[in-house]
Chains A and B, each alone.
Chain A
Amino acid sequence: MVTASVPSNPQSKLVAREVSVFYGEKQAVFDVDLDILPREVTAFIGPSGCGKSTLLRCFNRMNDLIENCQTMGSMLLDGNDIAGPDVDVVQLRSRIGMVFQKPNPFPKSVYDNVAYGPRLHGLAPSRSDLDELVETSLRRAGIWDEVKDRVDEPGTSLSGGQQQRLCIARAIAVRPDVLLMDEPCSALDPIATATIEELIDELRSEYTIIIVTHNMQQAARVSQRTAFLNLGRLIEFDETPKIFTNPSEQSTQDYITGRFG
């Protein structure tokens, strides 16, 4: 339950209170309190192994897949508990989509990649509905013009940047509220990265986005709020310009100026 010590903003899309994650004996995330505001891009930055990906994967319960990984604390989506054992994680994951570090389209056609989620959740009752949903998803992911003539070709035949946008299209085809992005550009070249960053900025109007990034410039460019994590603890969480120009913590200052990490 939400502890009284840290009052939550009633507008918050996602709320995390005293979230700790353990891998067996080893604790990876320590008592994180966090409020994610709707229709904003929140960036998680921090040195390697600071627990930012682990924290991100708490929101759609992907850590459940890892054996002997245990999550404590409470998490709310629109005020509803999502951390408890009774939560239907399948339902949850259709509301919180995820884009992975390495583009991972299924070895199927572009169309089937995007259509997989809607088919799974029965979002498109007829073939024409599905066609339309696939097209709007691909359009929204800014890849429609590039693939409209080859939706029947395997998704794996696209370039790396196109594959990642295909994965974004696949994620938004299930009409989630929240998009989690785990270093979505780390496997891409600078041009593809710029395209994805523009896309993230556009998607902000409809989705709440959390992005984990190693690239501080990227965090500064795309996010409205930035959380700095170090050694599993949330060090500082504030508006992005403030974090990058006038952080209140010394270690944040050290990290963003490149003194460690």
Chain B
Amino acid sequence: MTSAAPTAISSQAAANRLLLRRQRAERRFQLYGILAISAAVGFLIVFLANIVSRGYMGFVQTEVQLTVNFDEELIEAGSYRKILRTSLAERFPDAGSSRAERRALTGMVSAGTVFVLRETIAADPAIVGTVQDVWVLASDPVDQFYKGRIDAALPEGERPISDASLARIAALEEAGRIALRFNRSFFSRGDSRNPEEAGILGAIVGSALALLVTLAVSFPVGVMTAVYLEAFAPRNRITRLIEININNLAAVPSIVFGLLGLAVFLNVFGLPRSAPVSGGLVLSLMTLPTIIISSRAAIRAVPPSFAEAAIGLGASRVQAIFHHVLPVAAPGTLTGAIIGMAQALGETAPLLMMGMVAFVAEVPGGFTDPSTVLPAQVYLWADSPERGFAEKTAAAIIVLLGFLLVMNGLAVYLRRKFEKQW
């Protein structure tokens, strides 16, 4: 007894030490976790704040109000440029009539103003012969200055806007004829060489058309593949080989799919270059493994008792799968499809090979029209030297992120809606 007591005490102390050490380790581990999450959240906040602070200006545009005399003779002669020049000269009578002065004056407004005037007349022929106040887009230097991106304190030679222009902007401001307005044309136009005229609609439509093709091809093929592999395929060497290859496909660099698409879809099948149909097909190749893998996981997660019960009642295998397994697996399948679509939406590399990373000014009207996609538009604008494109780039990124957010929200919503308890 006397010899056993100290051993009991020392082992008690050892147990306490062990306990303390374990508790310390657990607290330390929690701390690491919290640190990791805060770092991730911090990066995300910095990233979003940066994008939004650069991008929100992309959604507004400086506009100038001109008093335009829609002179019938000039319109009949087709001299819309003359109409614009006259109206500018009337607004700024101080400007000389030399060629350089005149060019500086027209340089105040967007180069596309002439076409805007023509479209305005085409839309409403009644204004011919009247004098109207019209808001037109300011040119990029004026826009950038008005948004505070150009420092007026710099010497004249180091900034893209002249002293005379600065004085005119001040005069316009005094008259209340210059303002930041919501940039509707950003959402209603295609790309342009002039940043103030560049819009994102072309890229949005291009992305939507390409994704429609992707969805139409990869969803049915992917789900059917998953159903067959999970429920019908015999377990043998060939199916195992196919399974391994599908899993490996998910890890293939996306540019390789682009090369494959170039070789097969463009060169063998002769599909149109730069078109959503060929881009969508390449993206569907890329999305297929994602959809197959997630659908298989969803089908495998359905308790086999459902299919068994149906078969016990005299349902055929196909009926059991379609009546009972697929509906229960639907949320997982849909989530996989939407995640795959979101991936495809953000993909640029394979489309590089398909010629979809290209300057396309027209908004595509169909699956075979030349078009670009959202991430490619971001890349193109980020590559442009004009200052105005910097904020367009950020604005396009916001639009892209917005679409991704909507798609992921849709995935969550569908999962909640179709999820069933058993």
Contacts and interface: CB of A to CB of B under 8 A. Distances in A.
Contacts of B324: 106
A227 interface: no
Given A67-B234, A90-B316, A156-B421, A106 B311 contact: no
A104 B305 contact: yes
A60 interface: yes
**Interface majority SS (helix, strand, loop, mixed), chain A:** helix
Nearest to B302: A107
A167 B417 CA distance: 26
A167 B303 CA distance: 16
B314 A100 contact: no
Contacts of A116: 310, 313, 315, 323
B313 A104 contact: no
Contacts of A91: 314
Range class of the B interface residue count: 20 to 34
Contacts of B319: 120
A106 B306 contact: yes
Contacts of A67: 234-235
Range class of the A interface residue count: 20 to 34
Contact of A93 (B303, B314, B420): B314
B422 A117 contact: no
Nearest to A98: B312
A102 B305 contact: yes
A154 B327 CA distance: 15
A171 B323 CA distance: 17
A170 interface: yes
Interface of B: 234-235, 303, 305-306, 308-316, 319, 323-324, 328, 420-422
The 6 closest A-B pairs by CB, nearest first: A94-B314, A104-B305, A98-B312, A107-B420, A93-B314, A117-B313
Given A154-B420, A156-B421, 15 more contacts: A65-B308, A67-B234, A90-B316, A93-B314, A100-B309, A104-B305, A104-B309, A106-B310, A107-B306, A107-B420, A107-B422, A116-B313, A117-B313, A120-B313, A120-B319
12 contacts: A60-B312, A67-B234, A91-B314, A92-B314, A93-B311, A94-B313, A102-B305, A106-B306, A107-B420, A107-B422, A117-B314, A171-B313
